[in-house]
A = this chain, B = another copy of it.
Protein backbone atom coordinates (compact mmCIF):
# COMPACT_ATOMS: atom_id res chain seq x y z
CA UNK A 1 0.00 0.00 0.00
CA UNK A 2 1.34 3.43 -0.89
CA UNK A 3 -0.11 6.35 1.05
CA UNK A 4 0.18 9.59 -0.92
CA UNK A 5 0.23 12.63 1.35
CA UNK A 6 -1.19 16.00 0.31
CA UNK A 7 1.40 18.64 -0.60
CA UNK A 8 0.10 20.59 2.39
CA UNK A 9 0.47 17.70 4.87
CA UNK A 10 2.18 18.69 8.10
CA UNK A 11 5.01 16.83 9.79
CA UNK A 12 2.55 15.68 12.46
CA UNK A 13 0.16 14.28 9.88
CA UNK A 14 3.00 12.30 8.31
CA UNK A 15 3.97 11.01 11.75
CA UNK A 16 0.38 10.00 12.49
CA UNK A 17 0.24 7.98 9.28
CA UNK A 18 3.51 6.23 10.05
CA UNK A 19 2.21 5.40 13.49
CA UNK A 20 -1.00 3.96 12.10
CA UNK A 21 0.94 1.82 9.61
CA UNK A 22 3.18 0.46 12.33
CA UNK A 23 0.23 -0.11 14.67
CA UNK A 24 -1.10 -2.89 12.41
CA UNK A 25 2.26 -4.62 12.27
CA UNK A 26 3.47 -3.25 8.92
CA UNK A 27 6.65 -1.33 8.16
CA UNK A 28 6.47 2.30 6.93
CA UNK A 29 8.84 3.47 4.26
CA UNK A 30 8.88 7.21 3.45
CA UNK A 31 9.63 8.35 -0.10
CA UNK A 32 10.38 12.05 0.05
CA UNK A 33 9.67 13.73 -3.28
CA UNK A 34 10.38 17.32 -4.17
CA UNK A 35 6.74 18.34 -3.85
CA UNK A 36 5.19 15.70 -1.64
CA UNK A 37 5.75 12.60 0.45
CA UNK A 38 4.63 9.05 -0.22
CA UNK A 39 4.60 6.47 2.55
CA UNK A 40 4.96 2.84 1.57
CA UNK A 41 3.40 0.32 3.94
CA UNK A 42 5.12 -3.04 3.74
CA UNK A 43 3.95 -6.23 5.36
CA UNK A 44 1.51 -9.11 5.13
CA UNK A 45 -1.60 -8.76 3.03
CA UNK A 46 -3.73 -9.16 6.16
CA UNK A 47 -1.90 -6.41 8.03
CA UNK A 48 -1.98 -4.07 5.08
CA UNK A 49 -5.70 -4.66 4.61
CA UNK A 50 -6.32 -3.17 8.03
CA UNK A 51 -4.79 0.21 7.15
CA UNK A 52 -7.77 2.40 6.34
CA UNK A 53 -6.44 5.92 5.97
CA UNK A 54 -8.47 7.11 2.98
CA UNK A 55 -9.57 10.60 3.88
CA UNK A 56 -7.42 10.83 7.03
CA UNK A 57 -5.84 14.24 7.78
CA UNK A 58 -3.05 15.06 5.33
CA UNK A 59 -3.70 11.96 3.24
CA UNK A 60 -4.40 12.58 -0.45
CA UNK A 61 -5.17 8.98 -1.33
CA UNK A 62 -4.27 5.34 -0.82
CA UNK A 63 -2.82 3.38 -3.71
CA UNK A 64 -3.15 -0.37 -3.21
CA UNK A 65 -0.17 -2.21 -4.61
CA UNK A 66 -0.90 -5.84 -3.87
CA UNK A 67 -3.93 -7.40 -5.51
CA UNK A 68 -6.61 -8.03 -2.88
CA UNK A 69 -7.21 -11.59 -4.13
CA UNK A 70 -4.75 -14.37 -3.63
CA UNK A 71 -6.13 -17.83 -4.52
CA UNK A 72 -7.51 -16.49 -7.80
CA UNK A 73 -4.28 -14.79 -8.84
CA UNK A 74 -1.89 -16.02 -11.51
CA UNK A 75 0.94 -15.99 -9.00
CA UNK A 76 -0.87 -18.50 -6.81
CA UNK A 77 -0.25 -21.15 -9.46
CA UNK A 78 3.04 -19.70 -10.67
CA UNK A 79 1.60 -18.86 -14.03
CA UNK A 80 0.17 -22.34 -14.76
CA UNK A 81 -3.39 -22.18 -16.01
CA UNK A 82 -6.21 -24.16 -14.44
CA UNK A 83 -7.57 -26.83 -16.78
CA UNK A 84 -10.88 -28.25 -15.60
CA UNK A 85 -12.04 -31.69 -16.63
CA UNK A 86 -15.79 -32.06 -16.30
CA UNK A 87 -17.23 -35.44 -17.21
CA UNK A 88 -14.34 -35.89 -19.59
CA UNK A 89 -14.58 -32.45 -21.22
CA UNK A 90 -11.60 -30.15 -20.79
CA UNK A 91 -11.85 -26.42 -20.37
CA UNK A 92 -8.96 -23.97 -19.94
CA UNK A 93 -5.38 -23.71 -21.10
CA UNK A 94 -5.29 -25.03 -24.67
CA UNK A 95 -8.80 -26.44 -24.44
CA UNK A 96 -11.85 -24.64 -25.80
CA UNK A 97 -15.34 -25.70 -24.73
CA UNK A 98 -18.69 -24.78 -26.19
CA UNK A 99 -21.54 -24.75 -23.67
CA UNK A 100 -24.92 -24.56 -25.37
CA UNK A 101 -28.59 -25.07 -24.71
CA UNK A 102 -31.89 -23.34 -24.09
CA UNK A 103 -32.23 -20.26 -21.89
CA UNK A 104 -34.90 -22.01 -19.90
CA UNK A 105 -35.98 -25.64 -19.87
CA UNK A 106 -39.52 -25.72 -21.27
CA UNK A 107 -40.31 -29.32 -22.11
CA UNK A 108 -38.75 -32.70 -22.60
CA UNK A 109 -38.95 -32.41 -26.36
CA UNK A 110 -37.48 -28.90 -26.50
CA UNK A 111 -34.59 -29.86 -24.26
CA UNK A 112 -33.71 -33.18 -25.89
CA UNK A 113 -33.93 -31.82 -29.41
CA UNK A 114 -31.56 -29.02 -28.43
CA UNK A 115 -29.26 -31.34 -26.52
CA UNK A 116 -28.84 -33.64 -29.50
CA UNK A 117 -28.24 -30.74 -31.87
CA UNK A 118 -25.54 -29.15 -29.77
CA UNK A 119 -23.94 -32.45 -28.77
CA UNK A 120 -23.71 -33.56 -32.39
CA UNK A 121 -22.07 -30.25 -33.33
CA UNK A 122 -19.33 -30.70 -30.77
CA UNK A 123 -20.62 -28.77 -27.76
CA UNK A 124 -18.87 -29.87 -24.57
CA UNK A 125 -21.73 -29.19 -22.16
CA UNK A 126 -25.47 -28.58 -22.08
CA UNK A 127 -26.83 -25.45 -20.44
CA UNK A 128 -30.46 -24.94 -19.40
CA UNK A 129 -32.23 -22.99 -16.67
CA UNK A 130 -34.69 -24.52 -14.21
CA UNK A 131 -34.67 -21.42 -12.00
CA UNK A 132 -34.63 -18.07 -13.81
CA UNK A 133 -33.89 -14.71 -12.21
CA UNK A 134 -36.25 -12.17 -13.78
CA UNK A 135 -36.35 -8.42 -13.42
CA UNK A 136 -40.12 -8.58 -13.14
CA UNK A 137 -41.94 -10.47 -10.39
CA UNK A 138 -44.68 -11.10 -12.93
CA UNK A 139 -42.50 -13.00 -15.43
CA UNK A 140 -41.97 -16.75 -15.86
CA UNK A 141 -39.46 -18.02 -13.30
CA UNK A 142 -38.67 -21.47 -14.67
CA UNK A 143 -40.01 -25.00 -14.24
CA UNK A 144 -38.06 -25.56 -11.01
CA UNK A 145 -37.71 -29.18 -9.91
CA UNK A 146 -39.45 -30.41 -13.04
CA UNK A 147 -36.80 -28.58 -15.06
CA UNK A 148 -34.05 -30.26 -13.08
CA UNK A 149 -35.58 -33.68 -13.79
CA UNK A 150 -35.63 -32.97 -17.51
CA UNK A 151 -31.98 -31.89 -17.36
CA UNK A 152 -31.14 -35.20 -15.65
CA UNK A 153 -32.89 -37.04 -18.45
CA UNK A 154 -31.01 -35.09 -21.12
CA UNK A 155 -27.74 -35.84 -19.39
CA UNK A 156 -28.48 -39.52 -19.30
CA UNK A 157 -29.55 -39.64 -22.92
CA UNK A 158 -26.72 -37.56 -24.41
CA UNK A 159 -23.91 -37.92 -21.89
CA UNK A 160 -23.47 -34.14 -21.88
CA UNK A 161 -22.57 -32.61 -18.52
CA UNK A 162 -25.10 -30.05 -17.26
CA UNK A 163 -24.65 -26.35 -16.45
CA UNK A 164 -27.59 -24.85 -14.58
CA UNK A 165 -28.19 -21.85 -12.35
CA UNK A 166 -28.79 -21.76 -8.60
CA UNK A 167 -30.48 -18.68 -7.15
CA UNK A 168 -31.90 -19.78 -3.81
CA UNK A 169 -29.83 -21.80 -1.36
CA UNK A 170 -32.93 -23.76 -0.40
CA UNK A 171 -32.64 -25.41 -3.83
CA UNK A 172 -28.97 -26.32 -3.42
CA UNK A 173 -29.47 -30.03 -2.75
CA UNK A 174 -31.81 -30.43 -5.70
CA UNK A 175 -29.42 -28.64 -8.02
CA UNK A 176 -26.46 -30.68 -6.80
CA UNK A 177 -28.25 -33.82 -7.93
CA UNK A 178 -28.06 -32.86 -11.56
CA UNK A 179 -25.60 -29.99 -12.10
CA UNK A 180 -22.04 -30.75 -13.17
CA UNK A 181 -21.44 -27.01 -13.08
CA UNK A 182 -23.49 -24.58 -10.99
CA UNK A 183 -24.05 -21.25 -12.68
CA UNK A 184 -24.08 -18.07 -10.57
CA UNK A 185 -25.95 -15.28 -12.34
CA UNK A 186 -24.62 -11.77 -12.83
CA UNK A 187 -27.10 -10.31 -10.32
CA UNK A 188 -25.85 -12.77 -7.69
CA UNK A 189 -22.13 -12.19 -8.27
CA UNK A 190 -21.86 -10.52 -4.88
CA UNK A 191 -24.41 -12.69 -3.07
CA UNK A 192 -21.77 -13.78 -0.61
CA UNK A 193 -23.93 -16.35 1.13
CA UNK A 194 -24.52 -18.12 -2.17
CA UNK A 195 -20.85 -17.96 -3.14
CA UNK A 196 -19.75 -19.43 0.17
CA UNK A 197 -22.21 -22.31 0.10
CA UNK A 198 -21.38 -23.19 -3.49
CA UNK A 199 -17.74 -23.06 -2.47
CA UNK A 200 -18.48 -25.54 0.30
CA UNK A 201 -20.39 -27.84 -2.03
CA UNK A 202 -17.19 -28.48 -3.99
CA UNK A 203 -19.11 -28.48 -7.29
CA UNK A 204 -17.55 -26.58 -10.25
CA UNK A 205 -18.99 -23.09 -10.54
CA UNK A 206 -19.52 -20.79 -13.50
CA UNK A 207 -19.45 -17.27 -12.11
CA UNK A 208 -20.92 -14.50 -14.25
CA UNK A 209 -19.50 -11.02 -14.02
CA UNK A 210 -21.93 -8.51 -12.52
CA UNK A 211 -23.39 -5.87 -14.81
CA UNK A 212 -21.04 -3.25 -13.46
CA UNK A 213 -18.47 -5.34 -11.65
CA UNK A 214 -14.81 -4.55 -12.16
CA UNK A 215 -12.51 -7.43 -12.98
CA UNK A 216 -11.08 -7.09 -9.50
CA UNK A 217 -14.52 -7.51 -7.96
CA UNK A 218 -15.17 -10.55 -10.14
CA UNK A 219 -11.94 -12.11 -8.92
CA UNK A 220 -12.82 -11.24 -5.31
CA UNK A 221 -16.16 -13.01 -5.79
CA UNK A 222 -14.27 -16.04 -7.15
CA UNK A 223 -12.06 -15.82 -4.08
CA UNK A 224 -15.14 -16.38 -1.86
CA UNK A 225 -15.66 -19.74 -3.60
CA UNK A 226 -11.99 -20.71 -3.76
CA UNK A 227 -11.34 -20.01 -0.08
CA UNK A 228 -13.85 -22.76 0.82
CA UNK A 229 -11.55 -25.25 -0.88
CA UNK A 230 -13.39 -25.37 -4.20
CA UNK A 231 -10.85 -24.65 -6.91
CA UNK A 232 -13.09 -25.25 -9.92
CA UNK A 233 -14.28 -21.78 -10.84
CA UNK A 234 -15.01 -20.64 -14.40
CA UNK A 235 -15.18 -16.89 -14.93
CA UNK A 236 -17.76 -15.59 -17.39
CA UNK A 237 -17.87 -12.27 -19.22
CA UNK A 238 -21.48 -11.51 -20.26
CA UNK A 239 -21.56 -7.82 -21.10
CA UNK A 240 -21.40 -4.74 -18.94
CA UNK A 241 -23.60 -1.72 -18.56
CA UNK A 242 -22.52 1.37 -20.49
CA UNK A 243 -24.15 4.51 -21.87
CA UNK A 244 -24.75 2.92 -25.30
CA UNK A 245 -28.48 2.37 -25.90
CA UNK A 246 -28.13 0.46 -29.17
CA UNK A 247 -27.69 -2.89 -27.46
CA UNK A 248 -28.64 -4.48 -24.17
CA UNK A 249 -25.12 -4.75 -22.75
CA UNK A 250 -21.66 -3.98 -24.07
CA UNK A 251 -19.62 -7.16 -24.38
CA UNK A 252 -16.21 -6.46 -22.89
CA UNK A 253 -13.77 -8.71 -24.72
CA UNK A 254 -10.72 -6.95 -23.33
CA UNK A 255 -11.69 -8.74 -20.14
CA UNK A 256 -10.69 -12.07 -21.73
CA UNK A 257 -6.91 -11.54 -22.10
CA UNK A 258 -6.75 -9.37 -18.98
CA UNK A 259 -8.49 -11.93 -16.75
CA UNK A 260 -6.21 -14.60 -18.20
CA UNK A 261 -3.24 -12.49 -17.19
CA UNK A 262 -4.50 -11.70 -13.69
CA UNK A 263 -5.83 -15.17 -12.90
CA UNK A 264 -5.22 -18.85 -13.62
CA UNK A 265 -8.95 -19.52 -13.89
CA UNK A 266 -10.61 -20.28 -17.26
CA UNK A 267 -12.62 -17.50 -18.88
CA UNK A 268 -15.72 -18.08 -21.00
CA UNK A 269 -17.93 -15.59 -22.81
CA UNK A 270 -21.72 -15.39 -23.01
CA UNK A 271 -22.60 -13.51 -26.20
CA UNK A 272 -26.35 -14.21 -26.03
CA UNK A 273 -27.28 -11.97 -23.10
CA UNK A 274 -24.99 -9.15 -24.15
CA UNK A 275 -26.40 -9.00 -27.65
CA UNK A 276 -30.01 -9.86 -26.99
CA UNK A 277 -30.36 -10.47 -30.74
CA UNK A 278 -29.60 -13.62 -32.70
CA UNK A 279 -27.86 -11.84 -35.58
CA UNK A 280 -25.21 -10.40 -33.25
CA UNK A 281 -24.47 -13.69 -31.51
CA UNK A 282 -22.44 -15.01 -34.45
CA UNK A 283 -20.00 -12.09 -34.83
CA UNK A 284 -19.58 -11.76 -31.06
CA UNK A 285 -18.91 -15.49 -30.65
CA UNK A 286 -16.25 -15.40 -33.35
CA UNK A 287 -14.70 -12.36 -31.72
CA UNK A 288 -14.66 -13.96 -28.27
CA UNK A 289 -13.08 -17.15 -29.56
CA UNK A 290 -10.47 -15.25 -31.57
CA UNK A 291 -9.66 -13.17 -28.47
CA UNK A 292 -8.64 -16.40 -26.77
CA UNK A 293 -11.67 -17.21 -24.62
CA UNK A 294 -11.59 -20.69 -23.09
CA UNK A 295 -15.18 -21.27 -24.08
CA UNK A 296 -18.50 -19.85 -25.18
CA UNK A 297 -21.81 -20.27 -23.39
CA UNK A 298 -24.65 -19.68 -25.80
CA UNK A 299 -28.41 -20.06 -26.03
CA UNK A 300 -29.99 -22.43 -28.56
CA UNK A 301 -33.62 -23.35 -29.13
CA UNK A 302 -35.32 -25.64 -31.67
CA UNK A 303 -37.94 -22.98 -32.40
CA UNK A 304 -36.95 -19.61 -30.94
CA UNK A 305 -40.14 -17.87 -32.05
CA UNK A 306 -42.05 -20.07 -29.64
CA UNK A 307 -39.58 -19.78 -26.76
CA UNK A 308 -40.96 -18.74 -23.39
CA UNK A 309 -38.10 -16.41 -22.70
CA UNK A 310 -35.30 -14.72 -24.60
CA UNK A 311 -36.27 -16.37 -27.89
CA UNK A 312 -34.93 -13.51 -30.01
CA UNK A 313 -31.40 -14.11 -28.79
CA UNK A 314 -31.43 -17.90 -29.17
CA UNK A 315 -29.62 -19.55 -32.06
CA UNK A 316 -31.75 -21.94 -34.07
CA UNK A 317 -30.86 -25.54 -33.22
CA UNK A 318 -30.81 -26.56 -36.89
CA UNK A 319 -28.19 -23.94 -37.67
CA UNK A 320 -26.01 -24.69 -34.68
CA UNK A 321 -23.56 -27.05 -36.40
CA UNK A 322 -22.58 -24.41 -38.94
CA UNK A 323 -22.20 -21.81 -36.20
CA UNK A 324 -20.07 -24.14 -34.08
CA UNK A 325 -17.77 -24.86 -36.99
CA UNK A 326 -17.00 -21.19 -37.50
CA UNK A 327 -16.53 -20.56 -33.78
CA UNK A 328 -14.11 -23.47 -33.54
CA UNK A 329 -12.17 -22.02 -36.47
CA UNK A 330 -11.97 -18.71 -34.63
CA UNK A 331 -10.81 -20.50 -31.46
CA UNK A 332 -8.03 -22.09 -33.51
CA UNK A 333 -6.95 -18.66 -34.75
CA UNK A 334 -7.11 -17.54 -31.11
CA UNK A 335 -4.56 -20.18 -30.15
CA UNK A 336 -6.60 -23.17 -29.03
CA UNK A 337 -5.82 -26.77 -30.01
CA UNK A 338 -7.21 -27.39 -33.46
CA UNK A 339 -7.25 -31.19 -33.28
CA UNK A 340 -10.01 -31.32 -30.70
CA UNK A 341 -12.63 -29.89 -33.00
CA UNK A 342 -11.58 -31.70 -36.12
CA UNK A 343 -13.25 -34.85 -34.95
CA UNK A 344 -16.56 -33.05 -34.88
CA UNK A 345 -16.09 -30.46 -37.56
CA UNK A 346 -13.70 -29.33 -40.20
CA UNK A 347 -13.08 -25.79 -39.05
CA UNK A 348 -11.32 -24.09 -41.90
CA UNK A 349 -11.84 -25.79 -45.00
Residues of A in contact with B (beta carbons under 8 Å apart): 2, 4, 7-8, 29, 31-36, 38, 40, 42-46, 49, 52-56, 63, 65-66, 68, 75, 79, 133-139, 167-170, 187-188, 190-193, 196, 210-212, 214-217, 220, 223-224, 227, 240-247, 250-258, 261-262, 274-280, 283-284, 286-292, 305, 307, 309-313, 326, 329-330, 333-334, 348-349
Contact = CB atoms under 8 A, between A and B. Distances in A.
Given A244-B255, A284-B291, A333-B333, 7 more contacts: A2-B31, A214-B246, A242-B242, A254-B274, A254-B280, A257-B279, A283-B291
A220 B136 contact: yes
> Which residue among A46, A253, A262 has the maximum number of chain B CB atoms within 10 Å of its CB?
A253
5 contacts: A2-B31, A137-B220, A168-B193, A212-B241, A257-B284
B276 A283 contact: no
Contact of A54 (B35, B68, B243, B276): B276
A324 to B, nearest CB: 13
A194 to B, nearest CB: 8
> Which residue among A33, A137, A187, A254 has the maximum number of chain B CB atoms within 10 Å of its CB?
A254
Contact of A258 (B45, B280, B307): B280
A246 B54 contact: no
Q: Give the copy number.
A: 4
Contacts of A40: 31, 33, 38
A146 B108 CA distance: 50
Contact of A280 (B46, B136, B240, B257): B257
A126 B42 CA distance: 38
A257 B169 CA distance: 37
A82 B315 CA distance: 29
Contacts of A75: 7-8
Contacts of A313: 55
A264 to B, nearest CB: 13
Contact of A287 (B42, B167, B287): B287
B212 A212 contact: yes
Contact of A254 (B4, B42, B196, B247): B247
Given A55-B279, A68-B136, A334-B283, A252 B242 contact: yes
A138 B68 CA distance: 9
A220 to B, nearest CB: 5
B137 A56 contact: no
A25 to B, nearest CB: 12
Contacts of A137: 192, 196, 220, 223-224, 227
Contacts of A44: 34
Contacts of A240: 242-244, 250
Contacts of A223: 136-137
Given A193-B167, A223-B137, A284-B291, A55 B216 contact: no
A57 B300 CA distance: 17
A241 B240 CA distance: 12
